[in-house]
Every structure is written in structure tokens, then in C-alpha cells.
């Protein structure tokens, strides 16, 4: 099983596990950089570190962000209970259309999905939204549910990796990934630290979804994944959970985390026989411009290599776990790549944690038949005959 998870499969049982084109939607309410700076000046005129906060916000490169509710409502903060009710209502209103688009991009229907991985760190529901999706959108009742709530921005990469693991173990399976992040609902007017003020000008709201297919499909054929935690950094990115909700804590050392994380990316690529500084595409979590600048330096790749992540940051801000999916969507929109082009995907978040994977671009050439005996060993019972699959 270890070999399968890490991409070292028997040659006769090779299956192409493909991340298909994501669908992404952002809310209709927009706040620009200029409006953000004006709000900070108006609301924190007497703050002793306001000039520093304004400079940090201005340096993010975020031109605009999208909010799930008008800024006037966000600033009021009616309380955690009402905020969480808004989260649940808006998720149910906005997620289905994005899921339908992601399924269409993959050439599949709800009945073809074997597992849903739902990632979010900006609201809480139990049962998870996965249960509501299964009941409301026609997913089979046996669909597996994997909600991930506490990996923050790294959860987008984790969702891709868990989908990769599942489809490697069960080659006929398909996994739906859903990322729902309403960061604006975590705004706390009483948090006046510089890190909090910076966060108020950095994070945006978005919903994203993608399908990982165990067979067929066009996109990124996933080959190897791994995770890395930087020791002793648990409190660098964190939530303090209080009566008023989630209070975001951001340590000033966070922007420097690419120095210890870049070697983890190099190690993963090296174990696969690749050079992390010589790949064809890079899908990197856009936590901020310094994250991208530093990683460009440590991997010795040109800044243009991270153009998809930079575009997400400029147009949407940091949309947490949805960043990597939006960056992949932009790769598709640019026209994709040549067959076999190599790349890396990485999401960074609390821990400090990196979720990383390697893959090649594929235009959907048929996968070889997996070993049926191996499938019986892991206990997979295919839901549909292969012929019933709709090819993207």
C-alpha cells in the first residue's frame, strides 16, 4: 500500500489518476485594494502601527477580493451563531452550481462519484456539507465522505492528495473535491494586531470544485504525493476559538517559511527522479507575494513560473484552500500543456504544513488495465461497469 500511495506501482498495474479541470466561482460583492486601505484608515486612525499595516496590505498585490456578503454586513459582525448560519446557507446556495460544472468538466455525473472530499476552514457544519450534497444532488448514498476542516490553506493540496491515494487504491473510482472558503465571515473587529489587519486586506471568498478520475480524463496525471511539517511552528498560523468565532493568528515569521519548505519540495521531486527547479508548471498556494518570491528564489525558477498563483492572488486575494484549484483552472484556461509536461502542486498552511504532489499533463490517453487481483486485495467493488463511464 505504501508503494501505491507514493506512486511506485507495479508497471503492469499502472493507472492514470487524473485531476480534471476545476470549476471556480467567486461571490458578487467586491472590495478593491483602494477601498480596503480607506477602510483601514477610517476604522483604525489612532492605531500606532497603522502605517506599517497599510504598507503590508499595499504590498500584497491584491487588486480586489470577492465577499459573500456586502462589506457593510461583514463589518457589523452579528455574532458567531449568525455568522455560522450565513456560512451554511451560502454554502448550500453556491456550491451546487460549481460542483455541476466540475462534473461536466470531467465528463461525469453524480452517480459516477465514489468519494467527496470537502475542505473548508471558515465555518462549521455537522453533519458536513457532504451529507447535504449527497442528499440534494443525486450522489449515491454509499458515497464516502471525507471532510477536512483544520488544515487551513493546505487543505486544497491535501484534498488532491487524498483523492490521489483513493484512486490509486481503487482504480475504477472517481473523487469529487469541494473547497468552500468564506474568509470574510471570520472578520473580527476587535483583533487589532498587525497580522490581523494584514489578514483583513489579504483574504477573499471563493468556492471551487474538481474531479479526480481513476481512469481517463484530461488534466494533470498525479504520480506521487507527500506531506511535510516544519517542527515547532504549530502556533505560527492558528485559530483562537472564542465566543465570537474564529480569531485568526498569523505570526510575523510565516513569510519566511519557504526556506525550510523548499528543500521538502526538492526532496519529493528528487525521489521521483525530477529536479524541482526544472519543471514545466508550478501550482503553488498564493499565501502572499513573499511566499511566491521566496520559493522562486529557493527553487531557482523565474517568477513567471508562478503566474497562475500570482493571478489568483491579484484578482481574488488569498482564497485559502481554493487557491490551488483556481491556479489549476488558470492552467487549463491558458490552453493546457504538451503531453507529458511535468509539474508540481503545493499547498501550505497551519502546522506549518506542506501538502505536495507531482504530476504530468495528459490529454486523456487510455490508461492500462489495472491488476484485478490487486484490486481484490484492497477490497474494491466497482459501482459501475467501465463501459458506463462517460469519457471527458
Residues 6+ apart with CB under 8 A from 238: 248, 249, 350
Question: What span, in angstroms and rounded, lies between the C-alpha atoms of 8 and 10?
Answer: 7
Rounding to the nearest 10 degrees, give the CA dihedral for residues 258, 263, 265, 271.
Answer: 180
Q: Which of 122, 121, 120 is nearest to 133 (CA)?
A: 120
Could you give the residue numbers annotated as active site? 153
With beta carbons less than 8 A apart as the criterion, state whether 272 and 358 touch: yes
Residue 241, all three cell numbers = 476559538
DSSP class per residue in 353-377: EEEEEEEEEE--PPPPPPPHHHHHH
With beta carbons less than 8 A apart as the criterion, state whether 184 and 67 touch: yes
User: Across-strand partners of 65?
Assistant: 31
Strand 144-148 and strand 115-119: the pairing is parallel
With beta carbons less than 8 A apart as the criterion, state whether 7 and 223 touch: yes
Long-range contacts of 34-41 (CB under 8 A, 24+ apart): 35/71, 36/62, 36/65, 36/200, 36/201, 37/201, 39/71, 39/75, 40/197, 40/200, 40/201
Give 154's DSSP letter.
G
Residue 7, all three cell numbers = 506512486
Question: What span, in angstroms and rounded, lies between the C-alpha atoms of 284 and 263?
Answer: 15
Question: What span, in angstroms and rounded, lies between the C-alpha atoms of 303 and 140?
Answer: 44
How many residues are present in the chain?
Answer: 392
Element spanning 245, H or E: strand 245-250
With beta carbons less than 8 A apart as the criterion, state whether 180 and 129 touch: yes
Amino acid at each position: 500500500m505504501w508503494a501505491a500511495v507514493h506512486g511506485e506501482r507495479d508497471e503492469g498495474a499502472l493507472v492514470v489518476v487524473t485531476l480534471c479541470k476545476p470549476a471556480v466561482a467567486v461571490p458578487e460583492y467586491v472590495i478593491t485594494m483602494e477601498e480596503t486601505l480607506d477602510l483601514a484608515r477610517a476604522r483604525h486612525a489612532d492605531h500606532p502601527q497603522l502605517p506599517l499595516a497599510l504598507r503590508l496590505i499595499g504590498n500584497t498585490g491584491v487588486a480586489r477580493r470577492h465577499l459573500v456578503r456586502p462589506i457593510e454586513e461583514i463589518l457589523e459582525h452579528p455574532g458567531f451563531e449568525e455568522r455560522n448560519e450565513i456560512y451554511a446557507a451560502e454554502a448550500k446556495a453556491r456550491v451546487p452550481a460549481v460542483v455541476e460544472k466540475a462534473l461536466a468538466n470531467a465528463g461525469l455525473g453524480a452517480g459516477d462519484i465514489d468519494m467527496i472530499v470537502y475542505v473548508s476552514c471558515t465555518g462549521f457544519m455537522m453533519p458536513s456539507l457532504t451529507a447535504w450534497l449527497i442528499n440534494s444532488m443525486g450522489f449515491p448514498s454509499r458515497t464516502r465522505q471525507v471532510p477536512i476542516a483544520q488544515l487551513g490553506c493546505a487543505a486544497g493540496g491535501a484534498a488532491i492528495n487524498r483523492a490521489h491515494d483513493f484512486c490509486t487504491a481503487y482504480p475504477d473510482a472517481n473523487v469529487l473535491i469541494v473547497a468552500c472558503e468564506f474568509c470574510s465571515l471570520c472578520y473580527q473587529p476587535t483583533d487589532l494586531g498587525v497580522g490581523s489587519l494584514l489578514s483583513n486586506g489579504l483574504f477573499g471568498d471563493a468556492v471551487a470544485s474538481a474531479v479526480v478520475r481513476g481512469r481517463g480524463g484530461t488534466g494533470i496525471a498525479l504520480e506521487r504525493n507527500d506531506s511535510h511539517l516544519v517542527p515547532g511552528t504549530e502556533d505560527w498560523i492558528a485559530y483562537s476559538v472564542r465566543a465570537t468565532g474564529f480569531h485568526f493568528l498569523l505570526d510575523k515569521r510565516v513569510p519566511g517559511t519557504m526556506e525550510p519548505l523548499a528543500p521538502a519540495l526538492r526532496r519529493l521531486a528528487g525521489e521521483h527522479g525530477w529536479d524541482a527547479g526544472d519543471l514545466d508548471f508550478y501550482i503553488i498556494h498564493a499565501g502572499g507575494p513573499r511566499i511566491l518570491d521566496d520559493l522562486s528564489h529557493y527553487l531557482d525558477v523565474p517568477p513567471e513560473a508562478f503566474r497562475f498563483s500570482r493571478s489568483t492572488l491579484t484578482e481574488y486575494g488569498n482564497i485559502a484552500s481554493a487557491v490551488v484549484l483556481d491556479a489549476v483552472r488558470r492552467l487549463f484556461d491558458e490552453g493546457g500543456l504538451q503531453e507529458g509536461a511535468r509539474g508540481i502542486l503545493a499547498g501550505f498552511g497551519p502546522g506549518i504544513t506542506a501538502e505536495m504532489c507531482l504530476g504530468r499533463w495528459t490529454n486523456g490517453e487510455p490508461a492500462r488495465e489495472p491488476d484485478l487481483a490487486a484490486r481484490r486485495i484492497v477490497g474494491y467493488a466497482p459501482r459501475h461497469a467501465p463501459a458506463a463511464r462517460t469519457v471527458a
